[in-house]
Amino acid sequence: MHTLRFRRTAVAVAAAAVLPFALTACSGDSDSPAAGSAASASTDGSASGAASEPAMAMDKPFGSACAGVPKEGAGSFDGMAKDPVATAASNNPALSTLVAAVKKAGLVDTLNNAKDITVFAPTNDAFAKIPKADLDKVLADKAMLTKILTYHVVGQKLTPQQLENGSYDTLEKTKLTTSGSGESYKVNDTSNVVCGNVPTANATVYIVDTVLMPK
């Protein structure tokens, strides 16, 4: 009987210890589904640990294209986390076309000096989907280029959970929408997140496979 009581007490203590970490991993929002799941699972020590694992995993970058990010140096996830977003992007080989466009539009300082933003960053392959004549025309029109690039920026940091069914104002002053779950998300139903939740010093980056066009 003493042994049984000890085991029950240990389970209760373990559950109580895990719960705060599970709630913290869910952004501290007690109304979110993830937080609710963690709270309900806390009645069993092992279930609470299992519930916190997906939330903790989503704190890290995810997606098929993440494998192409350098493992070390300024272009790695650790390196990008130390630099403001435009500088961080310039160290990622897959974003060189975007970086060239940002420089041409004169937006480097704007992006680097912004606080707590989200950038949906098209890959080089995303820009390659645009016919060359059309892309050259946009790159030569600073006003149009600025309009398109600022449409990829939201003025708050978005977590993966916030992308599940979202509508957000962009710096271009119109809205974009997000949808999905787990590690599969779309923006405006046209662009897929291929490497998401990438931290930089002042932004969260979601790398996408299609350039977003404002209405």
- pLDDT, tens digit, for every residue of 101-134? 999 999 999 999 999 999 999 999 999 999 999 9
Please tell me whether residues 75 and 160 are part of one structural domain: yes
Q: What is the CATH number of the domain that holds 136?
A: 2.30.180.10
Consecutive H or E run containing 198: strand 191-199
pLDDT for position 110: 97
Provide the β-strand partners of residue 184: 181
* 75 occurs within a structural domain: yes
Residue 45: what residue type? G
* 213 occurs within a structural domain: no
DSSP letters for 64-126: GGGGGS-SSSTTSHHHHTTS-HHHHHHT-GGGHHHHHHHHHHT-HHHHHH--SEEEEEE-HHH
Closest CA to 179 of 160, 195, 199, 155: 160
Taking the C-alpha atoms of residue 144 and residue 78, their distance in angstroms, rounded to an integer, is 33
CB atoms within 10 A of CB 169: 12
Please tell me whether residues 178 and 111 are part of one structural domain: yes
Domain with 41, as residue range(s), is 2-57
CB 141 within 8 A of CB 134: no
Task: State how many domains the chain has.
Answer: 2
Q: Which of 25, 41, 57 is the last residue of a domain?
A: 57
pLDDT for position 54: 44
| Predicted confidence band of residue 38 (pLDDT cuts 50, 70, 90) | very low
Q: Which of 10, 40, 57 is the last residue of a domain?
A: 57
* 126 occurs within a structural domain: yes
pTM for the complete prediction? Answer: 0.74
Please tell me whether residues 120 and 182 are part of one structural domain: yes
* Arithmetic mean of pLDDT, 88-108: 96
Please tell me whether residues 38 and 23 are part of one structural domain: yes
